[in-house]
Structure 1
Amino acid sequence: MAFQCQRDCYMKEFVTSVVSCCPAELKQEVNGKKETVKGFNVILQDTILFPEGGGQPDDHGLIGDVPVLRVTRQGAEAVHFVGSPLEVGQEVQLKVDWDRRFDHMQQHSGQHLISALAETMFGFKTTSWEMGRQRSSIELDTPSVKPAQLQALEEALNDKIRDHVPVTLQLLSIDDPAVGTVKSRGLPDDHAGPIRIIDIEGIDANMCCGTHVSNLSQLQMIKLQGTEKGKKNKTNLIFLVGNRVLKYAEKCYSTERSLVSLLKTGPDEHVEAVDKIQKSAKLLQKSNLGLLRDMAVLIAQNFKSSPQRGNFFTLHKKEGDNEFMNIIANEIGTEETLVFLTVGEEKGPGLFLLTGPSDAVSEMGPRVLEMLQGKGAGKNGRFQGKANSLARREDVAALLQQRCTQGEEEYRKIPTKSPRMTRMIRPMKRHLNRRHTMNFMVLQGLVNQKKDQGHQPRTDCWENRDLACSDFFLSGPPSIISRLHLSGVLAGGIRAELLRGQVVKVEDEPPVEVAVSVQRPVVDVGLLLVLLHAWHPAAGAKGTAFVISP
């Protein structure tokens, strides 16, 4: 059947009766989220509210005082979804949202006119179309539309509007011979009743279920906004009709006035002014990136030079990026330090980087990812990714700090046979090259020489341990420390200079302390202590403990 809205598209109010009302649900999108609304499906004796179809959205309106949220077609019936129940058999008054209806009429009739002239003038057939909330598009069966063709088409369209061409409606039975002479993409499987033909006099006759204007002059004007690449080698033609053109012009004028105020120039100079601003912004951005890189290097160097640096470093920089974090991590560059860096909004999304000892990073990386609600991955002592929220960044830092502290404490609990060693350096795997091996051979030779002289060195648990830190403090009996200090260079791998106390040769003087700097990456702590004990055969005596502090 044809609904009243299809017989008379200009009817704004209508009295009818309720045929049925049953509970139902409607899935709709609210503020970008899909929600399910409970309500009722109402079928009326007839309706002036158009159910969606033919590329045209449905009408909105009222049944009495009850808003109609959705209208769909099911066979020969129009189903109205409402939030409140209606009594079956009662007489109700329908009222259509006219602004929405007339906008749809303008866009739909405009589409018919554009499709007809595009095919007549250039042979571009319409394969589909879409009516959007702000703009509409027609899919043309052509790989491209030239600018000159677009301009000629727009001029022809508006000429037809000014010609005041009538648009008429015909209702034909399905077996009418005239049905075969009109354009059609086919009828729905559940179609029932007569067939509607929309005839633009002398221009186009097309099968259509939608609502239309009665004369092309009511379209006011058509603006073709351009084309976009479509699917399967087709082109999408973007257009506005009638009131949408006026709204677009009003929006453009408002934007132009704002730009005049911001740029302090006339409309004709806006492009040039914006171009200058963009170039200036690029230069500033480049300068800022350079400053950020320099800042990253200084931050890392400041941490490395601090005597209280510890084994954990964390930093958040709102303006930073991946490169900023990588520079800091690479500059710190030690497997002994766990580094946690973040950039972005403090409570919003951002980026993060976790580097350090492979075991710690592998263990803590997934936990960091979970706490920051992010996505990422890691390997070889690096774990990085995107965080949906940095709100718990401080909690993550506290957790990592705790992990570092616990790791150090657990290491210090390693049993040792030498109670006089109050602190140990964390061992690391040996990475020896030929040069290092030669140094160890020199150390071992000195130890063997002392053994031959009758001194028994104390090796305790220090065998097979490596020293990887760049510097440390050594305290012990002055006679031994003096040997280390005065020698200047120990086996070519260690340098020492007096830091505190006075070097004397009297063994009952208070211990002195020297600063020791490792000149090569790996030095065997065991051999160093064996050598020290070999120099001082009474290592087990009171006051002869050696204390190493990183």
Structure 2
Amino acid sequence: MVFYCQRKCFDKEYKTKVVSCKPATLEVLQNGKKNKRQCFEVIFDDTVLFPEGGGQPDDRGTVNDIEVVRVIRKGGTALHYLVAPLEEGTEVLQRVDWARRFDHMQQHSGQHLITAVTETLFGFATCSWYLAEKMSYIELDTPKLMPEQMEKIEKEVNSKIREGIPISIAEYDIDDPAIKEVRTRGLPDDAVGPIRVVCIEGVDTNMCCGTHVSNLSQLQAIKLLHTEKGKANKTLLYFVAGGRLLEYFGNCYNQERKLNILLRTEPSNHLFIAQKNQSDLKATQKQLREALKDLAIAEAEKVKNQTPKPKWFMHHRTNADNDYLSTIVNSIDDETILKVLTAGNDQGAGILMVHGPQHLVPNVGSKLCEIFEGRGGGKTRFTAKVNKLNKRAEAEKIVQTLLEDLDVEN
């Protein structure tokens, strides 16, 4: 079936009737995690809301002001998932989220144009494409796309856009001989009804179920961004078209202005200043590591020079790390002294290291993990990640009480 949205790509509203409505459970992606959402699966006589297909995501919108959270195609049927039910047989008003729809139309028609020009110029076929939220990519059947080739493709596609070449959509029966002349990557197994062919006049004819602009001028412009190595000797070519291009370069310009202020220089010097700052940071970090090592050795010397030798030692440093704590342990080099060492945020998360007599270390480490709200392990050197370093005073009392109890037992 060819839906209303595929025949009238620019229509934003449509009145239709509810054929069926039933409760459903839909798996949705929220914050990178898949969650199940209770909703209602609705079928209409027809729809202005595009179900996903041809590499194009599905539309969003409303039906009688009820939110539509997904639209998918199943054979010749569009399944709509709504947050509230509708009565079967009633007439309803569908509204499409036009900003999302037109963006998808620009990217999809842009992909058709880039695919056609790339194949014409260099013979690189398109294997697939992906329309993401910020930028899209085309998977090309070539192990590499050279910069000069990208430049030539970009010039040609934007030349076609400036010409204002019309785009038309025709429908054919599946056994129509004209179908044999159309570029295609194949039909879905459950495809039914007429075959849609998108034609960029004099540039490309392509079998496609998606929604498209009616003239290349509506793409405004296309920018090819970069390439990445794909699977099996393929290349991913990233691009933005139309409104996305304006948004993308608007964001780039705003970031550039902020960098001008932060780096106190003009854009042509940004890379040089960033590389210099990175080099200076590495040198500073090396000096800090050396200074922390010297401090660790100095702390260890304090313990080693105490008379009489202490039974236990507790120490904390905010800006230290595991290397700092290990240096103290290694420099003291005495397993008869119980060493309780911490590093990190005074009021929050950090690390714990306990070293000393083997019969004490696991027990002390476990008790301190309870206080500091952390997890760790080890028999001779107990290490842990902890979350409540502000409880160090309480931890010190626990260690002191534990050692005093052992003295009494002995």
**TM-score, normalised to structure 1's length?**
0.69
Q: Does 1:288 align with 2:288?
A: yes
Contact 1:371 1:392 (C-alpha < 8 Å) held by counterparts = no
Q: Does 1:389 align with 2:387?
A: yes
Give the drift of 1:7. Answer: 0.7
- Aligned match of 2:340: 340
Distance 1:59 1:384, change over 3 A: same
- Aligned match of 1:118: 118
Please say which of residues 195-204 and 88-97 is displaced more in the overlay: 195-204
* Structure of greater relative contact order (alpha carbons < 8 Å, 6+ residues apart): 2
Distance 1:398 1:174, change over 3 A: farther
1:156 alignment partner, SS class: helix
Distance in 1, matches of 2:401 and 2:54, equals 64
- Aligned match of 2:358: 358
Give the drift of 1:372. Answer: 6.5
Distance in 2, matches of 1:32 and 1:402, equals 47
Contact 2:352 2:386 (C-alpha < 8 Å) held by counterparts = no
Equivalent pairs: percent with the same residue? 47
- Aligned match of 1:163: 163
Distance in 1, matches of 2:182 and 2:93, equals 36
Distance 1:319 1:15, change over 3 A: same
Give the drift of 1:242. Answer: 0.8
Give the drift of 1:272. Answer: 2.6
Aligned AA (2:387): S
Give the drift of 1:370. Answer: 7.6
Give the drift of 1:59. Answer: 0.6
The CA RMSD measured in Å over matched residues stands at 2.5
Distance in 2, matches of 1:147 and 1:128, equals 21
- Aligned match of 2:20: 20
Structure 1, residues 175-204: CA drift from partner, whole Å, max 9, x if none? 112222222222222212111111122222
Q: Does 1:96 align with 2:101?
A: no
- Aligned match of 1:267: 267
Please say which of residues 17-26 and 94-103 is displaced more in the overlay: 17-26
Distance 1:95 1:289, change over 3 A: same
Distance in 1, matches of 2:366 and 2:233, equals 45
Contact 2:354 2:361 (C-alpha < 8 Å) held by counterparts = yes
Structure 1, residues 83-133: CA drift from partner, whole Å, max 9, x if none? 111111111111111110000001111111112222222222222211110
Give the drift of 1:143. Answer: 1.7
Distance in 2, matches of 1:91 and 1:115, equals 41
- Aligned match of 1:195: 195
- What does 1:69-84 align with in structure 2 at a 5 Å threshold? 69-84=69-84
Give the drift of 1:65. Answer: 1.2
Q: Is there any run of 5+ residues in structure 1 with no aligned partner, and where?
A: 413-550
> How many residues in Structure 1 have an aligned counterpart in Structure 2?
409
- Aligned match of 1:547: none
2:209 alignment partner, SS class: coil
- Aligned match of 1:229: 229
- What does 1:369-448 align with in structure 2 at a 5 Å threshold? 378=378, 381-384=380-383, 387=385, 389-390=387-388, 394=392, 401-410=400-409, 412=410
Aligned AA (1:205): T
**TM-score, normalised to structure 2's length?**
0.91
- What does 1:127-142 align with in structure 2 at a 5 Å threshold? 127-142=127-142
Give the drift of 1:283. Answer: 2.7
Contact 1:19 1:45 (C-alpha < 8 Å) held by counterparts = yes
Structure 1, residues 10-54: CA drift from partner, whole Å, max 9, x if none? 011111111111111222233344432212111111111111122
Aligned AA (2:313): F
Give the drift of 1:400. Answer: 5.0
Contact 2:40 2:85 (C-alpha < 8 Å) held by counterparts = yes
Distance in 1, matches of 2:73 and 2:396, equals 58
Distance in 1, matches of 2:244 and 2:250, equals 10
Contact 2:303 2:310 (C-alpha < 8 Å) held by counterparts = no
Give the drift of 1:364. Answer: 5.2
Contact 1:199 1:205 (C-alpha < 8 Å) held by counterparts = yes
Contact 2:59 2:101 (C-alpha < 8 Å) held by counterparts = yes
Aligned AA (2:77): E
Aligned AA (2:297): V
Contact 1:223 1:239 (C-alpha < 8 Å) held by counterparts = yes
Aligned AA (2:141): D
Distance 1:404 1:239, change over 3 A: farther
Distance in 1, matches of 2:236 and 2:314, equals 51
Larger radius of gyration: 1
Distance in 2, matches of 1:169 and 1:308, equals 93
Q: Does 1:67 align with 2:67?
A: yes
Structure 1, residues 309-338: CA drift from partner, whole Å, max 9, x if none? 743333333321221111111122211123
1:359 alignment partner, SS class: coil
Give the drift of 1:344. Answer: 3.4
1:170 alignment partner, SS class: strand
1:80 alignment partner, SS class: strand
Contact 2:312 2:337 (C-alpha < 8 Å) held by counterparts = yes
Distance in 1, matches of 2:63 and 2:389, equals 48
Q: Is there any run of 5+ residues in structure 2 with no aligned partner, and where?
A: none
Q: Does 1:154 align with 2:154?
A: yes
- Aligned match of 2:9: 9
- Aligned match of 1:327: 327
Aligned AA (2:153): L
Give the drift of 1:237. Answer: 1.0
Give the drift of 1:82. Answer: 1.2
Contact 2:220 2:241 (C-alpha < 8 Å) held by counterparts = yes
- Aligned match of 2:178: 178
Distance in 1, matches of 2:375 and 2:127, equals 41
Contact 1:338 1:404 (C-alpha < 8 Å) held by counterparts = no
Distance in 2, matches of 1:347 and 1:183, equals 64
1:21 alignment partner, SS class: strand
Give the drift of 1:279. Answer: 2.8
Give the drift of 1:366. Answer: 6.2
Distance in 2, matches of 1:356 and 1:405, equals 16
